[in-house]
């Protein structure tokens, strides 16, 4: 059983004005703050960010059919180059909120399809319904699983981690790396020799000064 609906929650809607006469219609718009975790791991609406909702409530035999559109700015990062990105998300949804006393009827209808549907049935409680689970499913389904900053984002250099979109000519030459390694080694040896010599000279100078 769900906890009682909180009528102060911006995602809880009252259906009393609509009435229970099948065919009755009500349209409403509301901007709500995004609840926590409205998205997937890589992209989503930041908590508290505005989510615009346009809803059409229709009284049907078994409950209230809610058809709507959600709009929000979602933020995340490119999965290839980790650059922050922003998208305007617009997603449609439709959900039936069943009257508690329409139980038997709704279940009969679902029985032939999928037993699990029974558990997914959303209900009207105290003439109200909670849109949050619907909004959550809608947004998550509409979000890209692998958002990219641009379709052909080349990602990061596997050698040094530089963002390749910023440096189209960036490359490492395999031969250069080997040469660089050899040169580095040669310089280390030379430096070592110099250091020894320098040390010896410094030592001599010191002795001479004393």
Residues that bind Zn ion (CB under 5 A): 78, 80-81, 83, 149, 153, 157, 159-160, 162
Least distance CB 173 / Zn ion (angstroms): 11
Least distance CB 47 / Zn ion (angstroms): 25
- Is 51 or 149 the residue whose CB approaches Zn ion more closely? 149
Least distance CB 175 / Zn ion (angstroms): 15
- Is 1 or 160 the residue whose CB approaches Zn ion more closely? 160
Least distance CB 171 / Zn ion (angstroms): 7
- Is 120 or 167 the residue whose CB approaches Zn ion more closely? 167
Least distance CB 37 / Zn ion (angstroms): 24
- Is 181 or 202 the residue whose CB approaches Zn ion more closely? 181
Confirm if 71 and 51 have CB atoms less than 8 A apart.
Answer: yes
- Is 2 or 158 the residue whose CB approaches Zn ion more closely? 158
Written as one string, the DSSP assignment of 161-175 is --BTTT-TT----HH
* Beta bridge partners of residue 86, listed in sequence order: 75
**Separation CA 65–CA 98 (nearest Å):** 8
Confirm if 122 and 65 have CB atoms less than 8 A apart.
Answer: no
- Is 32 or 165 the residue whose CB approaches Zn ion more closely? 165
Cβ count near 116 (within 10 Å): 8
Q: Which of 54, 50, 45 is nearest to 13 (CA)?
A: 54
Residue 67 — φ and ψ, nearest 5°?
-115, 135
Residue 131 — φ and ψ, nearest 5°?
-85, -10
- Number of helices (H) and strands (E) in the chain: give both, helices first: 4, 9
H runs (alpha helix) in the chain: 103-111, 117-120, 132-142, 174-209
Least distance CB 84 / Zn ion (angstroms): 10
The kind and range of the H/E element at 191 are helix 174-209
């Amino acid at each position: 059983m769900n906890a009682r609906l909180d009528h102060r929650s911006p995602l809880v809607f009252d259906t009393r004005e609509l009435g229970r006469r099948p065919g009755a219609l009500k349209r409403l718009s509301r901007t709500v703050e995004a609840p926590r975790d409205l998205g997937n791991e890589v992209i989503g609406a930041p908590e508290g960010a505005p989510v615009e909702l346009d809803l059409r409530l229709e009284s049907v035999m078994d409950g209230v059919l809610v058809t709507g559109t959600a709009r929000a700015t979602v933020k995340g990062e490119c999965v290839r180059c980790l650059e922050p990105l922003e998208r305007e998300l617009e997603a449609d949804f439709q959900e039936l909120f069943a009257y508690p006393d329409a139980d038997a009827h709704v279940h009969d209808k679902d029985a032939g399809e999928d037993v699990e549907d029974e558990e997914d049935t959303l209900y009207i409680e105290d003439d109200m319904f909670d849109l949050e689970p619907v909004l959550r499913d809608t947004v998550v389904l509409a979000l890209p699983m692998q958002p990219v900053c641009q379709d052909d984002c080349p990602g990061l250099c596997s050698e040094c981690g530089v963002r390749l979109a910023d440096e189209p000519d960036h490359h490492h030459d395999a031969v250069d790396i080997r040469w660089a390694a050899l040169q580095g080694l040669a310089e280390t040896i030379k430096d070592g020799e110099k250091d020894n010599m320098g040390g010896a000279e410094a030592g001599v100078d010191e002795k001479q000064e004393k």
